[in-house]
Structure 1
Amino acid sequence: MKAKKSVRDRLRLDAIRRRATPIENHIIDEYAAGKITRRDFIRRGTIIGMSVSVLGFVATACATDEGATTTLAGGPTTTGGSGTTGGPTTTGATGTSGSTGAGAIRAAMITPAGAIDPVLTNDEGRLAILGQTGQYLAFSDAELNLIPVLAESWEPNETLDVWTFNLRQGVTYHDGSPMVADDVVAVFTNIASGNAASAYETFGVTPENIVAIDEATVEFTLAQPNGSFPFFVSSDNYNGIIVPASFWDSYAEGSYETEFPGTGIWQIENHEPGVSASFVKNQNYWGDNAAQPEQLEVTFFADEAVAVTAFQEGRVDVIPHISSSGGQALLESPDATVASIPTAQHRQVYFDTSAPPFNDKRVRQAVALTLNRQVLIDGLLAGFGTVGNDHPIWEFFPMFSQDTPAQRTEDLAAAQGLLDAAGLGAFEAPLHTLVFAEVEDLAQLIAASAAQVGITLNLGVFDSGTYYNDYWLAAAGSMGIVNYGHRGVPNVYLAAPLLSDGTWNASHWVNETYDDLYNQFASAPDLDIQRQLSGELQTLLNDEVPFIVPYFVDHISITQPNFSGLVVTGMGHVDLVNASVS
């Protein structure tokens, strides 16, 4: 029987390979040769649109050496329960009406920074709410896999500059109307001028080159090849929730809040901006949500201490995301279950490289050498973080290169030597930042560290509006600190803040070698080539130091001991489809 099964599997594999595109066959070859892990094979396959069933079969059929194809140890994992792995109910099963789920789930979530709005959302508070009623073409999960949701499949052309998405059939909005290709085109046309503008630049997307081929097919033609393009239409681009094309006929800032239109598992019941939101189960959901609770009650909190108190008093079941400092009272509590996942979220401590003293890379290197990064993680993040090495390519990204410069560590003698070589004695410079999580404390510790080699950094701490309007992109011979949220691929990190003409280039750093390397990286279909280019990017950025990346921040969630089924991502998406309280 084993021999027959082996022959049958070989024949099926041969048939798959005959139908596969050259790019798909290349990825299969890499896996069969042991060049990439099983995890990297499945992740890369989902990006280019190979189905999960085909990937699973090929992974088993091609596995030759267990050591060459097992999942990398230490990678990200999802938290809590046995729920979905790709966002709210992505199985595509026929909707299950009826009420077999739990009662109400009570969650404490970060207060949205403004109106819930698909165009303007740029914060975790709003994206978490958008994801309750709305869905994406694909979902980027906590293990960096792309899971088909409203798109059933997708595929690129051979040059990776045209991507075709096949929409899932039978999907309906909360009002019962069907989702069609024109809806997708309308979404990606109308959000282009909002918060997602940098993503359009990064991935080479222009609205006029997004077309509906028919009611179930959408085609994106890019300005340049991009091997990671499906992340643009995924939950990574949290502005891209799919709503009816008619929504845009009367769109105005905040108009989404009148109905919260979408295809998701929850329907809005009541919303009091800045205070609370309640949702009821979508009884006519297009997928399988039989286990979903009947109701979700969200209380917003601007102060984490308020959420902690509510949790301690038993008024909330789950805090999907809290900082290590804000949640300190619960981290060691026997009455709380704490879970964390590593993420690519990081702080960028940037230098204005356009003017003295930071136009000399030796000065930038010197500042970087004053930091004890593990001490920062232990003191500011209670250990919930990963050391950074002054580039944004997180060690858990598949394209991260191990062949990179040694980890930069505190070395005050080397720092002083660099300052002496630059002809600088003691000097002063501004360090501007915003009130956010532990960032103000980070700024103070950076200033204290730099003072050890005669650098006086004068701190300016501002609310986010003042900071981003008046200081962030200003060229003032200064330093600053910004936060970059989690992404499934590093393209946004590598483009907007680092390209010579990048829209978020607060460092005012101009480097043609970098620009060329990034363009090669973005269009590379081969993980080996991408990893090689990633190594060159990591080395260049570590040497030039347009900004310091002191650490990457873990995502912490806290639940009551009798709660299960929470699934979160590093970006802040929250999936409660299988949540329950025992």
Structure 2
Amino acid sequence: MADGQFPYQLSIWNPQSLITPADYETGTTLDGRPSGTGPFKLEKYDIATGATFARNDDWWGGKPNLEKVDFVFSDDIATQITGVLGGQADAIVLFAVVGGDALLSNPDVTVESISGAAHRQLWMNTREGTFTDVRVRQAVALGINRQELLDVVLKGRGQMGNDHPVAPSYEFFDSTQPQRERDIEKAKALLEEAGKAGLAVTMHVPKLVEIPQLAELMQTQLKDIGMDVTLNVISTDTFYDSWCKVYDSEVAPAGCDGGEEFGIVDYGNRGTPDVYLVKAYATGEWNSAHYISEPFNAAVAEYQASLDLAGRQAAIKTVQAIATEDVPYIIPYFYDSLIAYKKNVTGIVATGLGHYYLGSAGFTA
């Protein structure tokens, strides 16, 4: 079988791509048996506090500038920001616009915005309940103001979404597809036709980065089309039961089941859209919308088998069109990955997935 994604499978974006010694056993970890070819060697690791890497003088890329690199682990963005601004740290691997003002406005800090495919999905259960009629889903999609969401929630650091998970950063993205624009009157008419005028529904969202603010603004926007949206903001400790609570192998699409019918879930950056297209749409594993479309699945399979750019572009054109028309998920935007480091830091190369290449990193005088 042809695999158009084979180069991706061997890239840094795929954590299963590591080439390890033949005698590595399942369950072997890097701290238990360090091995690699990078500019630094793991010296110390603590799952709770951080890791220390020492310079690899035998690195094939030359002698690194830094003798050591310390990674300090913290889930609290305020602590991370205070560390950089206070001089206890030199860089932050990834941060968000929400809570990141002190970095974004500081002249002593360099902030890089990396466009990518990370996004939020507003799922709607297409199999049962409120959103089985495509007109209702289209009405919700027409009721939101994407530009306002992008400007207010992300402060412009992202790209507008069009209710499919193929980001403009992908080389095969179909830029000729018309952008879905807000249309309040059409949205009201669709709800009326579907017998759902004045629809009241609960939106389940995780207390995660900017998602509560996104949900609040969507709630306000959807009032304009007559919807009454109640927000249920949940800790990430329990939220994912609201998204996909159980695995069901009996009811198609097999997989994700038992969750709520309406909510926002987070999807991180990927080098290709395969995870989104397959797990969230074409199979049931993460398919919280319970979406089934044979034409969509066929287009995804065609895309994955295509060995040239033209073939992928043709298949993705179909994928985008079907996803936007059927709208099992609303994707309002793709947000930039933000990294920050002090002005005297040089040579860091970062990716949208949070990789930091430090082989050439150092400090200016």
Tell me if both proteins adopt one fold, taking TM over 0.5 as the criterion: yes
Q: Partners of 1:337 and 1:471 in 2: how far apart?
A: 36
In structure 1, the partner of 2:85 is 312
| Structure 1 residue corresponding to 2:271, chosen from 488, 511, 516 | 488
| Structure 1 residues 326-341: aligned runs within 5 Å | 326-341=99-114
| Structure 1 residues 208-287: aligned runs within 5 Å | 225-248=2-25, 251=27, 255-285=29-59, 287=60
Deviations 1:522-562 (A, max 9, x none): 11223223212211111111111010110011111111111
Alignment RMSD: 1.9
In structure 2, the partner of 1:63 is none
Per-residue deviation, 1:256: 4.1
1:512 matches 2:284:
no
Structure 1 counterpart of 2:43, one-letter code: E
In structure 1, the partner of 2:231 is 459
Per-residue deviation, 1:326: 2.4
Q: Partners of 2:141 and 2:260 in 1: how far apart?
A: 17
1:341, 1:570 within 8 Å by CA — same for their partners in 2? yes
1:566 matches 2:348:
yes
Structure 2 counterpart of 1:338, one-letter code: V
Q: Matched residue of 1:236: which SS? A: coil
Deviations 1:390-435 (A, max 9, x none): 111111211111231x211222111101101111122222322222
In structure 1, the partner of 2:331 is 549
Per-residue deviation, 1:465: 3.8
1:396 matches 2:173:
no
2:44, 2:52 within 8 Å by CA — same for their partners in 1? yes
| Structure 2 residue corresponding to 1:529, chosen from 305, 311, 314 | 311
1:475, 1:508 within 8 Å by CA — same for their partners in 2? no
| Structure 1 residues 433-472: aligned runs within 5 Å | 433-472=205-244
1:581 matches 2:353:
no
In structure 2, the partner of 1:410 is 182
Per-residue deviation, 1:474: 3.5
Structure 2 counterpart of 1:503, one-letter code: E
Q: Partners of 1:558 and 1:256 in 2: how far apart?
A: 27
Distance 1:415 1:268, change over 3 A: same
Per-residue deviation, 1:315: 1.7
1:497, 1:503 within 8 Å by CA — same for their partners in 2? yes
Q: Partners of 2:357 and 2:129 in 1: how far apart?
A: 48
Per-residue deviation, 1:342: 0.8
In structure 2, the partner of 1:349 is 122
Q: Matched residue of 1:498: which SS? A: helix
1:355, 1:476 within 8 Å by CA — same for their partners in 2? no
Deviations 1:289-333 (A, max 9, x none): 313411001112211111111111122111132111222112121
Deviations 1:194-226 (A, max 9, x none): xxxxxxxxxxxxxxxxxxxxxxxxxxxxxxx22
Q: Matched residue of 2:113: which SS? A: strand
Q: Matched residue of 2:216: which SS? A: helix
1:358, 1:477 within 8 Å by CA — same for their partners in 2? no
| Structure 2 residue corresponding to 1:479, chosen from 240, 259, 262 | 262
Unaligned runs of 5+ in 1: 1-160, 162-224
Distance 1:505 1:323, change over 3 A: same
Q: Partners of 1:416 and 1:427 in 2: how far apart?
A: 10
| Structure 1 residues 87-126: aligned runs within 5 Å | none
Unaligned runs of 5+ in 2: 245-255
Length, aligned pairs only: 353
Deviations 1:94-151 (A, max 9, x none): xxxxxxxxxxxxxxxxxxxxxxxxxxxxxxxxxxxxxxxxxxxxxxxxxxxxxxxxxx
Q: Matched residue of 1:311: which SS? A: helix
Distance 1:467 1:261, change over 3 A: farther
1:347, 1:551 within 8 Å by CA — same for their partners in 2? yes
Q: Which of these two proteins has the greater Rg computed from alpha carbons?
A: 1
